[in-house]
């Protein structure tokens, strides 16, 4: 890997970060006349901890890393954006992505004015890593992978990831937004071995807190330090930090809900496999199923007219005639199955 300092954009290397008032002074017992806050009110009149110390301690404890290796953001979408803004020089640098994958990597890259080099997934939905490396040039700063991948739902094989980590000089970012549904620790163990690996995780999926907007990167300390220099000072608000800490105290509840969703995933998958309008239910590791059906537009409309929204993914590479269905509550899944049964019966008479 190139030293992080070399990978950085020139203007970021020389940037003098903003120093916020709450950076040095926190906590009770002091009179705060330093941040132009309103002194009245109790809960949210003060800015939050810009270093998110308690949150980082908790997250680091979960994954067995140092707090200095954790970078929380306003959703992983913010972390994706910050990574791109830190390393990718507009109109000069590029990044390499598998296709299809989560759409925000490309959107954030294009906002930055970066060239996006997309490499189709192989037929088994694994990234075509040798083709990806062949698209790398000396202006390629980042490769993104997503495991389990959205929308295909499969895990990236470890040897494919390691191939990229060994053959690429820049950063390989692996988005593990759905890792908890795999009941594995994802690629956490590789962080020690590969300084160019960055993992992304989120509170939006298994932790059930998409509304509070909290995602985080796990990476080497030098990468976290740079992201910290350019982030907005109070990027994770006080309420979010508090709610995340509270949720963190109830890991057994999170585990129970993950187990339920995984069981429901198996039930829905088995059901769909018996439907005549279904051509293939792809193996799933996340909290959604990708399903190839005979007439996706008709199915999506049929369900929508009856109050259930699923996502048509047919326009994406390798997702011909496919829909993505998020696993809902048991009674929601039951309703979906009932409607699918009706659709299936109608379908044979079309």
Ligand X SMILES: Cc1ncc(COP(=O)(O)O)c(C=O)c1O
Q: How far is the CB of 75 from ligand X (least distance, A)?
A: 3
**What SS3 class is residue 320?**
coil
Q: Out of 48, 67, 75, 186, which residue is the one contacting ligand X (CB under 6 A)?
A: 75
Burial label, 69 (beta-carbon count in 10 A; 0-12, 13-18, 19+)? buried
Query: Which of the residues 108 through 167 are near ligand X (CB under 6 A)?
Result: 146, 150
Backbone angles phi, psi at 187, to 5 degrees: -105, 25
Residues 6+ apart with CB under 8 A from 326: 287, 288, 310
- Measure the CA–CA gap between 102 and 306, rounded to whole angstroms: 28
DSSP annotation of 316 reads: S
Which CB sits closer to ligand X, 8 or 146? 146
Backbone angles phi, psi at 201, to 5 degrees: -135, 170
Which CB sits closer to ligand X, 210 or 266? 210
* Count of chain residues binding ligand X (CB under 6 A): 12
- Measure the CA–CA gap between 202 and 180, rounded to whole angstroms: 10
Which CB sits closer to ligand X, 107 or 339? 107
Q: How far is the CB of 202 from ligand X (least distance, A)?
A: 3
Query: Residue 155 has which token pair?
Result: 């895990």
175 near ligand X (CB under 6 A): yes
Query: Which of the residues 30 through 69 are near ligand X (CB under 6 A)?
Result: none
186 near ligand X (CB under 6 A): no
210 near ligand X (CB under 6 A): yes
Burial label, 348 (beta-carbon count in 10 A; 0-12, 13-18, 19+)? exposed
180 near ligand X (CB under 6 A): no
Which CB sits closer to ligand X, 80 or 278? 80
Return the closest-CA partner of residue 68 out of 83, 56, 86, 50.
Answer: 56
235 near ligand X (CB under 6 A): no
**Residue nearest ligand X, CB atom distance:** 75
Contact status, residue 185 vs residue 155, Cβ threshold 8 Å: no
Q: Out of 102, 125, 144, 194, which residue is the one contacting ligand X (CB under 6 A)?
A: 102
Which CB sits closer to ligand X, 86 or 152? 152
Of 58-66, 159-167, 189-197, 202-210: span binding ligand X (CB under 6 A): 202-210
- Determine if the peptide bond prior to 148 is cis (ω within 30°): yes
- Measure the CA–CA gap between 288 and 298, rounded to whole angstroms: 20
Matching residue, tokens 């109050």: 307
Of 22-30, 71-79, 244-252, 307-315: span binding ligand X (CB under 6 A): 71-79
Q: How far is the CB of 181 from ligand X (least distance, A)?
A: 12
215 near ligand X (CB under 6 A): yes
Q: How far is the CB of 310 from ligand X (least distance, A)?
A: 14
Residues near ligand X, by CB under 6 A = 75-77, 102, 146, 150, 175, 177, 202, 204, 210, 215
């Amino acid at each position: 890997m190139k030293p992080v300092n070399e990978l950085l954009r020139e203007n970021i290397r020389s940037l003098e970060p903003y120093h916020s008032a709450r950076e040095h002074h926190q906590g009770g017992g002091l009179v705060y006349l330093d941040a132009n806050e309103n002194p009245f009110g109790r809960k949210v009149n003060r800015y939050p901890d810009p270093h998110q110390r308690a949150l980082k301690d908790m997250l680091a404890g979960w994954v067995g890393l140092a707090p200095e290796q954790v970078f929380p953001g306003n959703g992983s979408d913010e972390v994706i954006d910050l990574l791109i803004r830190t390393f990718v020089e507009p109109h000069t640098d590029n990044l390499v992505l598998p296709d299809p994958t989560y759409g925000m990597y490309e959107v954030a890259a294009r906002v930055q004015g970066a060239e996006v080099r997309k490499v189709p997934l192989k037929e088994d939905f694994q990234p075509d890593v040798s083709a990806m490396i062949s698209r790398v040039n000396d202006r390629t700063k980042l490769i993104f992978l997503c495991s389990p991948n959205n929308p295909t739902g499969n895990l990236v094989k470890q040897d494919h990831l390691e191939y990229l980590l060994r053959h690429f000089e820049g950063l390989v970012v692996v988005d593990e937004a759905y890792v908890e549904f795999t009941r594995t620790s994802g690629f956490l163990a590789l962080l020690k071995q590969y300084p160019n690996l960055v993992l992304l995780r989120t509170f939006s999926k298994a932790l059930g807190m998409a509304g509070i907007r909290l995602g985080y990167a796990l990476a080497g300390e030098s990468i976290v330090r740079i992201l910290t220099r350019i982030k907005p000072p109070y990027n994770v608000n006080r309420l979010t930090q508090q709610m995340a800490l509270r949720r963190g105290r109830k890991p057994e509840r999170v585990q129970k809900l993950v187990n339920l969703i995984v069981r429901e995933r198996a039930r829905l998958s088995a059901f769909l496999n018996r439907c005549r309008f279904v051509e293939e239910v792809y193996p799933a590791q996340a909290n959604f199923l990708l399903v190839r059906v005979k007439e996706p537009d008709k199915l999506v409309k049929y369900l929508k007219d009856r109050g259930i929204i699923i996502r048509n993914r047919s326009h994406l590479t390798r997702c011909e005639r496919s829909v993505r269905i998020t696993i809902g509550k048991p009674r929601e899944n039951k309703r979906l199955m009932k409607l699918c049964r009706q659709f299936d019966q109608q379908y044979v008479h079309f």
